[in-house]
Amino acid sequence: MKKLVLICLLLHSIYSYEFSIYSDEESIQPSFECTKAKLHSVEHFLCYSNNTEIYPFSKGYNPYVDNFFNSYYNLIIQNIPKSEKPKARQIARDIMKDRDKAIIEINSQVEYYKTLRQEADNGDAESDNLLRYSAKEGVDTYVVAIFQIEKSYYNGMLYLTNYLLQYQPNLFNKIFYTNPLKYKQLLTQKLDDNVATGLLAETCNLAYKDGLINETGKLIVKVDSK
């Protein structure tokens, strides 16, 4: 179990992306009200991951992906026929259920570090050394959970995009009017392991440069449904 810290450090070095185009992570709020987020939930983590008293050794998580997904979903719901809305809503419900499974990994890390601290306080040298190593190296052991969360959100965008391409292709072209073919490539790839992190980074970097999203990850495109 203690080797997980080293594994996560390696994963973080491989899948770390520069988001300098976005504002400070602490200033970005997700698409929902954080005051309503329940403790021991993925939504609570998205809101308060910067609080290391709750989430030990967390480096904080920028909820831009949540904003991107939800604004994409809302834009679709606002511009499709009433008879088609249940399909989009079911996709969103399924994705939220899948995303919320990441709480198992999050809670396991919280409990793991809680146990480590107790062992270190009781004189366990190995636990104390591991805590010191984690602090020195800046290890974020929530990387695995973050991969799970981002994979769920990416799958949601994948399913919504496939729906649009099949039933409402013109709407997709209007949303990503700057380069529909490029966004189609980015948002319709089947995932293996942790590829979602890279695809989301590339998609959001491009969308920000194209003026399709703001610094929080929210789509700001105005679409004429006619």
Per-residue exposure over 30-69, b if at least 16 CB sit within 10 Å of its own CB, e if not: bbeeeeebeeeebbbbbbbbeeeeebbbbbbbbbbbbbbb
Give the number of other Cβ atoms within 10 Å of residue 100's Cβ.
Answer: 15
* pLDDT over threshold 80, residue 133: no
Residue 219, beta-bridge partner list: 213
The pLDDT score that the predictor gives to residue 9 is 42
- For 146-193, write each residue's pLDDT tens digit: 889 999 999 999 999 999 999 999 999 999 999 999 999 999 987 765
> In terms of Cα–Cα distance, which of 68, 65, 140, 133 is closest to 105?
140
The arithmetic mean of pLDDT across residues 119-136, rounded, is: 76
Give this prediction's pTM: 0.83
The arithmetic mean of pLDDT across residues 38-46, rounded, is: 94
> In terms of Cα–Cα distance, which of 139, 134, 144 is closest to 103?
144
> In terms of Cα–Cα distance, which of 106, 128, 133 is closest to 116?
128
- For 95-122, write each residue's pLDDT tens digit: 999 999 999 999 998 888 888 888 888 8
- Residue 209: pLDDT band (50, 70, 90) is very high
The pLDDT score that the predictor gives to residue 26 is 56
The torsion angles phi and psi of 39, rounded to 5 degrees, stand at: -60, 150
- Residue 19: pLDDT band (50, 70, 90) is very low
Q: Which stretches within the chain are classed as H helix? A: 4-14, 42-48, 64-78, 85-99, 103-121, 125-137, 143-167, 169-175, 180-187, 195-209
The pLDDT score that the predictor gives to residue 15 is 40
Residue 213, beta-bridge partner list: 219
* pLDDT over threshold 80, residue 194: no
